[in-house]
Amino acid sequence: MYDYDMRVSMNFARGLAEILAEYTGMPQDELEIAIETPPDSKMGHFAFPCFGLAKEAKKAPPAIASDLAEKIEASRPDWLGQAVATGAYVNFFLNRAAFASNVLFDVLEGGEGYGADGEGLGQAVIVEYSSPNIAKHFHVGHLGTTIIGKVIDNVYRFLGYEVTSINHLGDWGTQFGKLITAYKKWGSREEIEKTEIEGLVKLYVKFHEEADKDASLNDEARSWVIKMQDGDEESLEIWRWFCDLSMKEFNRVYDRLDIIFDSITGESFYNGQMEAVAEILENKGLLKESEGAKIVDLEEWNMPPSLILRRDGGTLYTTRDIAAAIYRYETYEFNKCLYVTGNEQSLHFAQWMKVVELMGYPWSGGLEHVPYGMYLFESGKMSTRRGDVIKVEDLLDEAVAKTLAIINEKNPELLNKERVAEQVGVGALKFGKLYNSRIKDTVFDWDRMLNFEGETGPYVQYTHARACSVLRKSLSADSNMDFGALGVALITGTTFDSSILDDDEAFDVLRILHDFPAKVVDCAEKYEPFIIARHMVALAQAYNTFYTKHQILVDDEPTRRARLALTAAVRTVLKTGLGLLGIAAPAVM
Ligand code: ARG
């Protein structure tokens, strides 16, 4: 848990808004929104446009700007370096030393809670993600939701929301009738036990081959589905076994991705609630018959009808989603319930969420689909036909093997090479998915993901390890002080002088550190992990520029202390940021 009282961050935009409110009489929160960040910090660190005020005062904007700048200059607080009018803007320059001590104090005192502003306290959020399908491999089609969903899960927790992560496994539906049929006809328990999902996939393929020749197999499969729905023990026993086997592979993947769900409730969980859903819909006059099936007509909203019950009495993916939403509200009273899935399911979510809205549930506005783009491989779209899919386990192995090869070349003496390769390889794969707006497709490219100098996971991890190494060197060999405590010690000493950090390179680093909490909030609001991912790259780049230009472990005590404090703050924020992205931050690599 994060300590929300630790966050003392001075928000400079807010500070400026407070001053501006005094002179303009405008509400402070409106002013805060109006404050801009100039594209080039040589123009100022913040800018306030005076067009709006000018309209009201019936004066030219530049006149208002210079009037305001003059008044602010006359009694400006320590942390503000200068207020100047430039055209229609008042440009503000921060006092660098004051800014530096403020930011460093916030980051280092805040430690791993820096940025955790507690905005979500008292609010419940459900993040549903991953949700692979039983009896199919954990393939690349579920990798995006797993990586992105985990970040949203982390970020909401970090901000103090009460998060429940749910894995809505695809463990119910017609495919299980086919599988049971195939298993009873051609399956061997030992063989499947040994090969896990592979064996089940083979059975599934075999079923389709045989059903092409003998259509009666389909009837048999359907009858197994009805039996399962009615609680028939024989079918359920086999089905449970399929689930357990599949979970072995899924859990290996979750272990490596460092993911634990609060709740694994698959579609089967809602089997008993199908009739109740249909009944509510019936009572509300929403259900219609159509060719023997039951549907909800959505023509008025320009969508195809939502299919609720099949003609043969079989239940559907959609109906289970409706039941799950109702169950989740009753169980968790969520403020928001998020569904992270591929954008190819957007229509499905729009349809059933509309149905829930029509049912009149006041909480339906809290349901939100969070779609994302797919992976593109050079060989074209990944194939899911007839079982030849790209398995996530294989991708993980490949990522790690390639990383190990790079380590063997760059740093063959590294201790725990295998472990670091796992952390960096898996991190690279995750970061590759997180670096762009989630809706964009991701072109799969190992060389780009694993480029230690690129805008990548390894680059950010490497910079973190570099900061750790600098800090380690500053400690005596027998010291066992951790870096968090070291950071606090650095700024609380009497020789700490933040005015040393007034160069452009340090200032760039400090600005990025200062903006981190706002970026986390922005990421949460937009469900966009790239906002944090890119901020981490920017921080790493800025720190590396600082590192190249300024020696840190110099003899002069105040200089050394100030630069080390900056380094300690960078380490803290890189670690937190990587953590939110679900990526490990090894101290050596
Ligand atoms: N198992 C589904 C699939 O692989 C994804 C489930 C998404 N979640 C949901 N509530 N429908 O397509």
> What does the pLDDT average to over 100-118?
93
Is 400 in a helix, a strand, or coil?
helix
**Can you tell me the distance from the alpha carbon of 126 to that of 324, in angstroms, rounded to the nearest whole number?**
12
Residue 344: pLDDT band with limits 50, 70, 90: very high
Q: What is the mean pLDDT of the chain?
A: 93
**pLDDT tens-digit readout, 513-525:** 999 999 999 999 9
519 phi and psi angles, rounded to 5 deg = -65, -35
> What does the pLDDT average to over 53-80?
90
Among 126, 131, 347, the mutation site with the greatest number of ligand 1 atoms within 8 A of its Cβ is 131
Strands 124-128, 162-167: pairing is: parallel
* pLDDT of res. 103: 94
Residue 426 pLDDT greater than 50, yes or no: yes
Strands 442-443, 375-377: pairing is: parallel
Residue 7: pLDDT band with limits 50, 70, 90: very low
Q: Is 174 exposed, middle or buried (0-12, 13-18, 19+ CB in 10 A)?
A: middle
> What does the pLDDT average to over 39-43?
84
**Can you tell me the distance from the alpha carbon of 126 to that of 129, in angstroms, rounded to the nearest whole number?**
10
* pLDDT of res. 381: 52
User: For residue 438, what are its two tokens?
Assistant: 């989630």
**pLDDT tens-digit readout, 266-296:** 999 999 999 899 999 999 999 999 999 999 9
Q: How far is CA 502 from CA 81, 179, 336, in A?
A: 12, 68, 44
Q: Where are the beta strands (DSSP E) in 343-434?
A: 367-372, 375-377, 380-381
* pLDDT of res. 8: 41
**Can you tell me the distance from the alpha carbon of 158 to that of 377, in angstroms, rounded to the nearest whole number?**
34
**Can you tell me the distance from the alpha carbon of 174 to that of 224, in angstroms, rounded to the nearest whole number?**
9
Residue 338 pLDDT greater than 50, yes or no: yes
Element (H or E) spanning 217, and its range?
A: helix 216-229
Cα-to-chain-centroid distance, residue 447: 23
Q: 21 and 60 in contact (C-beta within 8 Å)?
A: no
> What does the pLDDT average to over 175-183?
97
Residue 9 pLDDT greater than 60, yes or no: no
Q: Relative to the CA of 324, which ligand 1 atom is closest?
A: 10
**pLDDT tens-digit readout, 119-166:** 999 999 999 999 999 999 999 999 999 999 999 999 999 999 999 999
Q: 166 and 153 in contact (C-beta within 8 Å)?
A: no
Residue 380: pLDDT band with limits 50, 70, 90: low
37 phi and psi angles, rounded to 5 deg = -105, 115
Q: How far is the CA of 92 from the centre of ligand 1 (A)?
A: 50
* pLDDT of res. 37: 86
The verdict on the CB of residue 339 being under 6 Å from ligand 1 is yes
Outline where 230-362 has alpha helix (H).
233-257, 274-283, 317-332, 346-358
Strands 263-264, 162-167: pairing is: parallel
Nearest CA to ligand 1 atom 10: 321
Q: 112 and 2 in contact (C-beta within 8 Å)?
A: yes
Q: 332 and 367 in contact (C-beta within 8 Å)?
A: no
Among 344, 345, 346, the mutation site with the greatest number of ligand 1 atoms within 8 A of its Cβ is 345
The verdict on the CB of residue 341 being under 6 Å from ligand 1 is yes
> What does the pLDDT average to over 420-445?
97
> What does the pLDDT average to over 492-511?
91
